[in-house]
Chains A and B, each alone.
Chain A
Amino acid sequence: MKNRILIVDDSFYMRTMLKNMLTDAGYEVVGEAANGQQALEMAIETKPDLITLDVILPDNTGLDVLRGIRQEQPDVKVVMCSAVGQEVIVNEALESGASAYIVKPFSEEKVLEIVGNALQ
């Protein structure tokens, strides 16, 4: 069974790149959300194994989304996507149940390594 992944990022470019990396590696990308509201809805609808979650989103912060998702689906793995300078948010995310984080700009190897580890 392929692991199913939901991508949450407000940049179409970033989602496309992540999706290509993950599908090329054999994961099934079950959905792409561009904001927090969509992310919460799609997480319930698609029941993914893992969510990649951007820390900065148009409607809520990634942290609010993380907590919302963990409440609904405690088993889902969440990998935070952040950029340099957001260490405070990342630490808070890890305390709130995120499995790991990736720092943008990311390399394909790094993404696959972190996602692979989180799913084990």
Chain B
Amino acid sequence: MSNREQEYRELFMAEALEYYDAMSRHISELERNPADEEALRELFRLMHNLKSNARAMGYTSIGEAAHHMETVFGQLRDGQATFTGSMVPVLFGGIDTLGELIRAVGEEQALPDVQRLLDNLDRISRGEEPDLEGEEADDDEDVSRKLELSDLVYIQVRKLDHLMNLMGELIIDRDRILTLSREIDHPALTTAAAHFSRIAEELQYSVMDARLVGVGSLFSKFPRVVRDVASTEGKEVNLTLQGEDIQIDRNILQIITDALLHLVRNAIGHGLETAAEREAAGKPAQGQITLSAQAERDDVLVQVQDDGRGIDVASVRRKAVERGLVTRAAAAQLPDAAVRAFLFEPGFSMAKEVTEISGRGVGLDVVKLAIDSLGGQLRVDSVLGEGTTFTLVLPTSIAVKGALLFELDERSYALPLMHTDSVVSLLPDRFSVVGGVLLTRLQGENVPVVSLRELLQLEGDQVLAPARKATLHGRQDIIIVNYNNRRLGLIVDRFLRQQDIVVKAMSKPLDTIDLFGGVTLLGSGQVCLVLDVPALTRLFLAKRP
């Protein structure tokens, strides 16, 4: 069943059960006051809606039963008959039957036969007596009849956001209580705290779970987008969607909507060649775009893939030098992945001509900012002549982040795991100094390393002093962070531990310091600053000697 069919089915069921409840209520009102006009109007309207919706879904027997019921309630409403006598049990029974039919559809069971009900309703609408023989035998069933409520609840995102915020507070308190219980070390308290902690954690995951939606709810909007853009650009495009059932926080999906739209437009506008160019290159005339999602541990990977011309790294390298983003010498040494990352720099656009679709002044830097704001990662892989893949690495949930805790000058800091590549502990002989920058070789790549203390102490126009190996004594604890395909080593005093943290926005005037993404409270009650890796990386690039 397609996503949309499934959605329609769920909507139909939720509304049908609601209608059934309302019908049961109104017919009881009618029993007390057979001339209750409001109840008659409502019964007519509800039957009418149930009929229309059931017919649209192809549930013929519900449609038929509701249609016959509607006819009788229409006559009652218009005063052509009165709710009295032998029709009363038939109409009550009719609503019961509708309830059974709706439930049977919901449970995908065989639908009960409604012919007898339809015949009786026909008789009533012709002013004849219904056939009530055997009706009394249903009494046993009436006693055991269940009250059914819809299994589906619609809820405003605002309410879920509130729950999420409360949960964040609770997690902080949980850590605090656990620490206190360890300090006080009373057996009863320890047991209670451990139990509380388990429940709080379970609650946290339940709240996070309640906010999840399928990425398909966003993906399903793209076939239309692709058709429009392809026709404006005069290109032949086939779109494939994959992984629509992957679940992600609803607000994250909301935030990446524009980014994804931009990437798809870009892929068609710039990524794919025209049919003629493709055929000349020995490719099928129709270009392929794949929009896919997959779960990877705690993250969700969303990819936009095209089989177009690919990114010309040499041209990006040239342009980065022209724009003064990197020196010619340094550019020549950068690995391809690092060069492609320049595409995400503000205002760096590779479009040779501004087209209607892609050239609206927003570039990949805007996409990058949206992903950064979520603490996610944006990567681009490409093979010249074969195509380009943009990968968005997104957290499944926003409130709680995995983080690495460390100490610097006797203060605790946290770094989001999303941006942490690895931690290493290195002796001074593993470093070299090139152009005043400390480098170390990791997995065949030179990674710049900087003392986080010096980086945080910079003021105003100050730049970093050239690094000297002589200042390094003994093992250096280094966190390798990764942002925009650039790795950077941060020297810290001591690693502490890995922990889930709830990041809270900073209060003024701290919020003007953009190196910190927020604060979190540790179990000890200590405030811990959460470092913003994109900002730190940018600061290092601007202030390097």
A105 engages B49 (CB within 8 Å): no
B8 engages A14 (CB within 8 Å): no
- Say yes or no: is B412 at the interface (Cβ < 8 Å to chain A): no
A17 engages B45 (CB within 8 Å): no
Which of B8, B51, B52, B53 has the most C-beta atoms of chain A within 10 angstroms of its own C-beta? B52
- Say yes or no: is A104 at the interface (Cβ < 8 Å to chain B): yes
Which residue of B4, B45, B56 contacts A14 across the interface (Cβ within 8 Å)? Answer: B56
B295-350 at interface with A (beta carbon < 8 Å): none
Which residue of B11, B52, B224 contacts A105 across the interface (Cβ within 8 Å)? Answer: B52
What are the residues of chain A within 8 A of B11 when measuring CB–CB? Answer: 12-13, 16
A11 engages B15 (CB within 8 Å): yes
- Say yes or no: is A96 at the interface (Cβ < 8 Å to chain B): no
- Say yes or no: is B495 at the interface (Cβ < 8 Å to chain A): no
Residues 97-112 of A, flagged 1 when their CB comes within 8 A of B and 0 if not, give 0000000111000000
Contact A24-B12, Cβ < 8 Å, known A13-B53, A104-B52: no
Contact A56-B56, Cβ < 8 Å, known A13-B11, A16-B8, A16-B11: no
A13 engages B15 (CB within 8 Å): yes
- Say yes or no: is A37 at the interface (Cβ < 8 Å to chain B): no
Which residue of A23, A58, A85 contacts B45 across the interface (Cβ within 8 Å)? Answer: A58
What are the residues of chain A within 8 A of B8 when measuring CB–CB? Answer: 13, 16-17
- Say yes or no: is B487 at the interface (Cβ < 8 Å to chain A): no
B55 engages A105 (CB within 8 Å): yes
- Say yes or no: is A10 at the interface (Cβ < 8 Å to chain B): yes
Nearest-CB residue, chain A, relative to B18? A12
- Say yes or no: is B419 at the interface (Cβ < 8 Å to chain A): no
Q: How far is the CA of A105 from the CA of B71 in the complex (A)?
A: 17
Q: How far is the CA of A86 from the CA of B475 in the complex (A)?
A: 86
Residues 17-41 of A, flagged 1 when their CB comes within 8 A of B and 0 if not, give 1001001101000000000000000
- Say yes or no: is B48 at the interface (Cβ < 8 Å to chain A): yes
What are the residues of chain A within 8 A of B48 when measuring CB–CB? Answer: 56, 83
Q: How far is the CA of A20 from the CA of B5 in the complex (A)?
A: 12
Q: How far is the CA of A43 from the CA of B150 in the complex (A)?
A: 32
Q: How far is the CA of A16 from the CA of B44 in the complex (A)?
A: 22
What are the residues of chain B within 8 A of A13 when measuring CB–CB? Answer: 8, 11-12, 15, 53, 56
Residues 1-35 of B, flagged 1 when their CB comes within 8 A of A and 0 if not, give 00010011001101100000000000000000000
A56 engages B45 (CB within 8 Å): yes
Q: How far is the CA of A14 from the CA of B8 in the complex (A)?
A: 9
B15 engages A83 (CB within 8 Å): no
Q: Is the interface of B mostly helix, strand, loop or mixed?
A: helix
Q: How far is the CA of A57 from the CA of B11 in the complex (A)?
A: 19
Nearest-CB residue, chain B, relative to A20? B4
Q: How far is the CA of A110 from the CA of B11 in the complex (A)?
A: 22
B56 engages A105 (CB within 8 Å): yes
Q: How far is the CA of A86 from the CA of B46 in the complex (A)?
A: 15
What are the residues of chain A within 8 A of B56 when measuring CB–CB? Answer: 13-14, 17, 104-106
A83 engages B4 (CB within 8 Å): no
Cβ of B161 to closest chain A Cβ, rounded Å = 23
What are the residues of chain A within 8 A of B14 when measuring CB–CB? Answer: 12
A104 engages B55 (CB within 8 Å): yes
Q: How far is the CA of A68 from the CA of B194 in the complex (A)?
A: 64
B49 engages A14 (CB within 8 Å): yes
What are the residues of chain A within 8 A of B7 when measuring CB–CB? Answer: 16
B51 engages A14 (CB within 8 Å): no
Contact A24-B53, Cβ < 8 Å, known A11-B15, A12-B11, A58-B45: no
Nearest-CB residue, chain A, relative to B44? A56
Nearest-CB residue, chain B, relative to A81? B52
Q: How far is the CA of A58 from the CA of B26 in the complex (A)?
A: 14
Q: How far is the CA of A93 from the CA of B224 in the complex (A)?
A: 34
A11 engages B55 (CB within 8 Å): no
Cβ of A69 to closest chain B Cβ, rounded Å = 20
Residues 177-213 of B, flagged 1 when their CB comes within 8 A of A and 0 if not, give 0000000000000000000000000000000000000
What are the residues of chain B within 8 A of A17 when measuring CB–CB? Answer: 8, 56
Q: How far is the CA of A26 from the CA of B224 in the complex (A)?
A: 8
Q: How far is the CA of A106 from the CA of B228 in the complex (A)?
A: 26
Contact A83-B52, Cβ < 8 Å, known A12-B15, A13-B15, A16-B8: yes
Cβ of B20 to closest chain A Cβ, rounded Å = 14
Residues 37-51 of B, flagged 1 when their CB comes within 8 A of A and 0 if not, give 000001011001101
Q: How far is the CA of A17 from the CA of B4 in the complex (A)?
A: 9
Cβ of A7 to closest chain B Cβ, rounded Å = 14
Residues of A within 8 A of B (CB): 10-14, 16-17, 20, 23-24, 26, 56-58, 83, 85, 104-106
Some 20 contacts from A to B, beta carbons below 8 A apart, are A12-B11, A13-B11, A13-B12, A13-B15, A13-B53, A14-B52, A14-B56, A16-B7, A16-B11, A17-B8, A17-B56, A20-B4, A56-B49, A58-B42, A58-B45, A83-B48, A83-B52, A104-B55, A105-B55, A106-B56
Please give 13 more A-B residue pairs, beta carbons under 8 A apart, in addition to A13-B11, A16-B7: A12-B14, A12-B15, A13-B8, A13-B12, A13-B15, A16-B8, A24-B224, A26-B224, A26-B228, A56-B44, A56-B45, A58-B45, A104-B55
